[in-house]
């Protein structure tokens, strides 16, 4: 019993330094509610107000089931020396079930090339404002709200979590799709990640499109036009340049047809080093083998300790001087 109590005490002592403080290394992108603006980085009850000023920009027209973009503009940025800033896109501020997905939005990508409502970005030293973009597939017809929030620390050493939210929500009216509107098919999901050195060929199914032009750029730089080919009816093909180092490329399509021309949002495509592939069966097998080995070791140790204890408890035999008794 004493060993169990000591183990629990040590665990509490190890966890104690992190309670109520921010996580300077971040937690990585993910699907997080507003409550995680404090809870997943520290104690939510100890949040301090961020000085950041946050606003959202939305397109003039958003159509049911089609892809659109939302841009979050952040000013008066305050963060740590590492420049790590966490940003949330939220459907409301209830603290639970308030991600865009909870309101019917489908996140395709964000500025970090991930399909999450929460991202972490590095803010260069001296930068006071940034723009971050989410590409989403719109829900059914109706009126919706979207908020943006930030979470960060500061460089004064107190490690307290700071939280800020947009002063007013973005009000979005999702409309029915006009019948002859040139558009990407609802079945199309643009890729958001690829390996370095990988040739990227994209097949884009469309509806009511007679001509398609594709533009791409790297890190918001100069725009270049890609060659597009209609390989079959309503299916267009184009290639994006190979990346030789980790980077982000963005592309968009300009669609023409009988209806008014449409320009898609910028889609993000992130290039990373090839990831290691793990055979889960082997991992599970090794874990089970280690478990049995640890159990056998503990059983052997317990048996040895019990023998030693019994030997100590046995009375010593006193042999008289004659050698017999």
109 and 28 co-located in one domain? yes
79 with 85: CB under 8 angstroms?
yes
Category of 155 on φ-ψ map: left (φ > 0), alpha (ψ -120 to 50) or beta:
alpha
49 and 194 co-located in one domain? no
123 and 261 co-located in one domain? no
The predicted structure's pLDDT at residue 8 = 47
Q: Which residues pair with 130 in a beta bridge?
A: 74
Residue with tokens 């390996």: 195
Count Cβ atoms below 10 Å from residue 268 Cβ, excluding itself: 23
Category of 67 on φ-ψ map: left (φ > 0), alpha (ψ -120 to 50) or beta:
beta
Of 176, 191, 217, at which residue does a domain stop? 176
184 and 164 co-located in one domain? no
Listed in sequence order, the residues at least 6 apart from 94 whose beta carbon sits closer than 8 Å to its beta carbon are 34
149 and 182 co-located in one domain? no
Provide the b/e sequence for 32-48 (b: ≥16 CB within 10 Å).
Answer: bbbebbbbbbbebeebe
* CA atoms of 197 and 145, how far apart (whole Å): 40
133 located within any domain? yes
77 and 60 co-located in one domain? yes
- What is the residue range of 197's domain? 178-298
The predicted structure's pLDDT at residue 305 = 66
DSSP secondary structure letter of residue 129: E
187 and 284 co-located in one domain? yes
For every one of its 325 residues, what pLDDT tens digit does the chain have, with 9 covering 90 and above?
A: 455 554 444 444 444 444 444 455 567 888 988 776 544 544 555 678 888 999 999 998 999 999 999 999 999 988 888 888 999 999 998 878 899 999 999 999 999 889 999 999 999 888 889 999 999 999 999 999 999 999 888 777 666 788 899 988 999 999 999 999 999 999 999 998 888 888 899 999 999 999 999 999 987 789 999 999 999 999 999 999 988 888 889 999 999 999 999 999 999 999 887 655 555 666 666 777 777 677 777 677 766 766 666 665 655 555 556 655 4
Which pTM value belongs to this model? Answer: 0.73
Specify the DSSP element, H or E, that contains 4. Answer: helix 2-15
310 located within any domain? no
112 and 223 co-located in one domain? no
* CA atoms of 243 and 190, how far apart (whole Å): 17
The predicted structure's pLDDT at residue 118 = 94
The predicted structure's pLDDT at residue 7 = 46
118 and 260 co-located in one domain? no
Residue with tokens 């643009």: 190
The predicted structure's pLDDT at residue 138 = 96
151 with 32: CB under 8 angstroms?
no
The predicted structure's pLDDT at residue 161 = 82
Give the distance, in angstroms, between the CA of residue 209 and the centroid of all CA atoms in the same chain.
34
Could you list the beta-strand ranges (E) of 123-246.
129-137, 142-152, 162-165, 170-175, 183-184, 193-195, 200-207, 211-218, 224-226, 228-232, 235-240
Count Cβ atoms below 10 Å from residue 277 Cβ, excluding itself: 5
Burial class (CB in 10 A: 0-12, 13-18, 19+), 148: buried
* CA atoms of 277 and 130, how far apart (whole Å): 35
Of 176, 192, 211, at which residue does a domain stop? 176
146 and 182 co-located in one domain? no
């Amino acid at each position: 019993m004493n060993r169990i109590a000591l183990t629990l005490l040590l665990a509490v002592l190890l966890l104690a330094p992190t309670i109520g403080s921010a996580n300077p290394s971040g937690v990585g992108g993910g699907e997080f509610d507003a409550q995680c603006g404090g809870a997943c980085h520290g104690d939510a009850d100890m949040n301090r107000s961020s000085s950041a000023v946050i606003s959202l920009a939305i397109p003039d027209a958003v159509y049911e089931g089609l892809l659109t973009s939302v841009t979050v503009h952040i000013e008066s940025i305050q963060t740590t020396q590492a420049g790590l800033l966490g940003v949330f896109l939220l459907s409301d501020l209830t603290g639970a079930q308030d991600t865009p997905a909870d309101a019917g939005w489908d996140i395709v990508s964000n500025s970090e090339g991930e399909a999450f409502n929460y991202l972490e970005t590095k803010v260069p030293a001296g930068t006071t404002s940034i723009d971050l973009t989410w590409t989403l597939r719109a829900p059914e017809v109706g009126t919706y709200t979207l908020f943006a929030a930030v979470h960060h620390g500061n460089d004064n050493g107190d490690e307290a979590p700071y939280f800020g939210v947009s002063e007013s929500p973005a009000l979005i009216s999702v409309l029915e799709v006009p019948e002859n509107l040139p558009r990407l098919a609802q079945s199309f999901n643009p890729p958001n990640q690829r390996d370095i050195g990988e040739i990227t060929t994209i097949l884009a199914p469309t509806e009511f499109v007679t001509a398609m032009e594709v533009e791409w750029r790297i890190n918001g730089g100069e725009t270049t036009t890609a060659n597009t080919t209609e390989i079959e009816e309503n299916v267009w093909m184009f290639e994006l340049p190979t990346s030789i180092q980790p980077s982000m490329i963005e592309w968009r399509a300009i669609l023409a047809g009988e209806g008014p021309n449409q320009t898609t949002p910028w889609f993000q495509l992130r290039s990373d080093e090839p990831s290691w592939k793990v055979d889960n069966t082997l991992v599970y097998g090794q874990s089970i083998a280690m478990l049995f080995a640890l159990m056998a070791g503990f059983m052997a140790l317990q048996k040895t300790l019990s023998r030693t204890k019994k030997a100590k408890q046995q009375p010593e035999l006193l042999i008289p001087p004659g050698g017999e008794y």
